[in-house]
A = this chain, B = another copy of it.
Amino acid sequence: MTAPEPAAPPRRGRGRPGHDQAAVLRTAVALFNRRGYDATSIGDLAAELGVTKSAIYHHFASKEDLLRLALDDALDELTAVVSAAVSDADGASARDRLREVLRRSVEVLAAHQPAVTLLLRVRGNTPTEVEAVKRRRWLDDQLAGLVRDAAAEGALRDDISPDLVSRLLFGMVNSLVEWYRPEGAHDAATVADAIASIAFDGLVRR
């Protein structure tokens, strides 16, 4: 995977914050995505950056610390988007909130592609991975609930299980990590509109 967008700067970690720390995290995420987290060592990361291992440990306590910061970056963004969608504070219909969460999820994936790529590949051995998988499952459950609410409103066809609809819609969104390129032919807003159009109205010309 390429890493076309910088990850957000870390919000925790040892030592003074600044460019160095963000650059280390960004490179770590790119390496984890390219080689796998388990197969990447702090030594590999130091070699890639052309610095000593102790220069990395100045900023980060451990490899797992780097993983946690990257996964939290993706999860915090996605959690904010999903929490807003499942709250009906503004009185919007579940159908409109579902359309909005599809659109905003695409924006998060496009803006945080390396961190979300890492998140989607996590399988869960370390405590950090177990926690991330738990947070992902919470997101999936909330989204499935929102699809159920939209179906219960009578807005959606009822011949496909809401759980399956949720899997497929967010499968379409998540596929962005595999093929979306910020410098490519389609910007995030165009992709978001395409997903919402296909999902709600389908491809057939009417």
**In the complex, A156→B159 CA distance in Å?**
23
A197 and B160 form a contact (CB under 8 A): yes
Tell which of B168, B178, B205 touches A157, judged by Cβ atoms closer than 8 Å: B205
Nearest-CB residue, chain B, relative to A203? B156
Nearest-CB residue, chain B, relative to A166? B179
B194 and A165 form a contact (CB under 8 A): yes
Give this chain's copy count.
Answer: 2
Measured between beta carbons, the chain B residues less than 8 angstroms from A204 are 155-157, 200-201
**In the complex, A163→B199 CA distance in Å?**
17
| Selected interface stretch from A6-14, A53-61, A84-92, A184-192 | A184-192
B161 and A168 form a contact (CB under 8 A): no
28 A-B contacts (beta carbon < 8 Å): A1-B123, A35-B36, A36-B36, A39-B39, A155-B204, A156-B204, A157-B203, A157-B204, A157-B205, A159-B197, A160-B194, A160-B197, A161-B185, A161-B186, A161-B194, A163-B185, A164-B186, A164-B191, A164-B194, A168-B191, A168-B198, A169-B198, A171-B171, A171-B174, A175-B175, A198-B198, A198-B202, A199-B203
Going nearest first, the 3 A-B pairs with the smallest beta carbon separation are A171-B175, A202-B202, A36-B36
